[in-house]
Structure 1
Amino acid sequence: MERDDSPVDPPVDRVGLLAGVLAKTGDLVEGVGADRLSLPTPCHDYDVQTLVDHLVGWLLLFESGCHGRSYDGDPGQYKCGADPAAEFRAAAAGLVAGWESYGFDREVAVTGSRKLPAETVFDMTLMEYLTHGWDLAVATGRAVPFTEEEAAQTLNRAKATLPPQYRGENMPFGEIVPVDENAPAMDRLVAFLGREPGFSSSSR
């Protein structure tokens, strides 16, 4: 995935933005009860259990890459242990520490030997955890914890990072879902990433 170099609204603390999103997503992971694990999510191939495994597996990969380590294994096949929230928070702390220590003037491995500009990998991570946090919240019937500012900043970065060729059938992202231009930033973000903002697990 190549990054468009058009400007992204700065002046927020980038690492602080990601740390806040990860903390809220970790809280959502912790709050998943055993009776919710089989519920559907806005990601059509995932129930709640699969989504939680995905969140932790990919976070371990991003954390490894941020520290310049290779990740052994397939994050898409990762299975959480008895305490997914603890696994998530440990990986999140490591990821935040990696960005704080090594910064953005470098390339970061994503899968295998493939490397991308650090800013692109950062944007991908932010998109992944705010949007999948939304998926987890709405799938389990809980309030979406992310702020308008977090969603707006992530939407700006998604528009700068996600090219059209990554959308469509058998691709990581669905087509853009039309929403009102004055809708909340969270609705516009999930619609931009191919989700229906009005998703409810009870309606599926």
Structure 2
Amino acid sequence: MSDIDLLAGILSKTGDLVEGVHPDQLSLPTTCASYDVEALRNHLVGWLQVFRAGCEGRAYEGDPAAHVCGDDPAGEFRTAADGVLAAWRTNGFDRQVRVREGELPARMVFDMTLMEYLGHGWDLAVATGQPVPFTEEEAAEALARAEVTLPPRFRGEGQAFGEIVPVAEDAPAVDRFVGFLGRDPGAARPSAS
């Protein structure tokens, strides 16, 4: 599978999860302590717009943390996803990509995008009681890239990622992936009612 196909599959499945959120689920808790379902959905859409802008070679105007989805969050997500994919196809990987205030190697930004949308896609699925849609191949590839991309200094109290949660080596790749990100894949799912 090509890099673009890998990202396209993950973004498509995450877009389906965004579409699958019901209005009565917006205040449900998620596996991300600082986000309920609505805040997580806003985060997913807001940051995808940041990644799109960077991939297109422009700065994102605004604060992704302040993004609030309109009447069609799934449509917003899919529009941004289409832009991200088109920009990777057009501009390739031999460049620097702006993410907020700084620039990073394109490959690193690409891998961050995979991690962000498979990880938070899992969070959204678990919080809303939707099936986790990611394939073994997608999760295994995201895990391999996360192991190279995510240094220990970003883990722990006050950091973006928790400590690694031990998961059996023969567990499904998505469980090993979310464990690596610091989530417990065996955590009870919040009620979707």
- TM-score, shorter chain, exceeding 0.5: yes
Q: Which runs of 5+ in 2 are unaligned?
A: none
Report the Cα offset of residue 76 of structure 1: 1.2
Match of 1:81 in 2: 70
* Partner Cα separation in structure 2 for residue 110 and residue 134 of structure 1: 23
Match of 1:23 in 2: 12
**Does residue 141 in structure 1 map to residue 129 in structure 2?**
yes
| DSSP 3-state at the match of 1:115 | strand
1:1-204 counterparts in 2 under 5 A? 12-112=1-101, 114-199=102-187, 200-202=189-191
Q: Which runs of 5+ in 1 are unaligned?
A: 1-11
TM-score (norm 2): 0.97
| 1:129-161 CA-partner distances (Å, limit 9, x unpaired) | 011001000100111000000000000000010
* Partner Cα separation in structure 1 for residue 150 and residue 71 of structure 2: 34
* Residue type at the aligned position of 2:57: G
| 1:166-194 CA-partner distances (Å, limit 9, x unpaired) | 00111110000011111110000000000
CA RMSD of aligned residues (A): 0.6
TM-score (norm 1): 0.92
Report the Cα offset of residue 97 of structure 1: 0.1
Report the Cα offset of residue 77 of structure 1: 1.3
% identical equivalent positions: 64
Match of 1:4 in 2: none
